[in-house]
Amino acid sequence: MKHIYYILLVIVSSCAQNVKEAKTNGNQIIEKVEKSKDSISIQELKLLTKVEAVHKYGTPSSIEQFILHDAYGEFRNTITNTYSQEERQSESIVIDELTWEKDEETWVTVWYEVQQKKSVPKETYIWDKGTEF
């Protein structure tokens, strides 16, 4: 029974992070309003660890993990060019790629270098939905 209570508590608290309360002038009614996805701060994403970013902005729309090397296309040029060719060829750099929906027309991708105790943001990329790479 404790497990069910704990799961419900986690679900309710995660839902509460996605809403804010607003008071109306007339009847003092409190209603829930969905938080704007445009509140994603690129500057802040560059400072937050992966865990902190997921906690603040919620579950990303997509998550991928890969070992960095030279065989990536145009989309990953930003993260690829962050490292030297020697570093990339060692194939020892693990990258977590998280993408959030910034607004109706835009995605934000953050690449995190996976280190022993945390994932550190290395690069960000803002791109239009529907873009083909």
- Round to whole Å and give the CA distance between 99 and 103: 12
Domain ranges of the chain: 1-35, 37-128
When pLDDT is averaged across residues 2-17 and rounded to a whole number, the result is 46
Record the pTM.
0.69
**What digits encode the pLDDT tens for the residues 31-50?**
333 344 447 889 999 999 99
Q: What is the pLDDT of residues 105-123, one digit of tens each?
A: 999 999 999 998 889 999 9
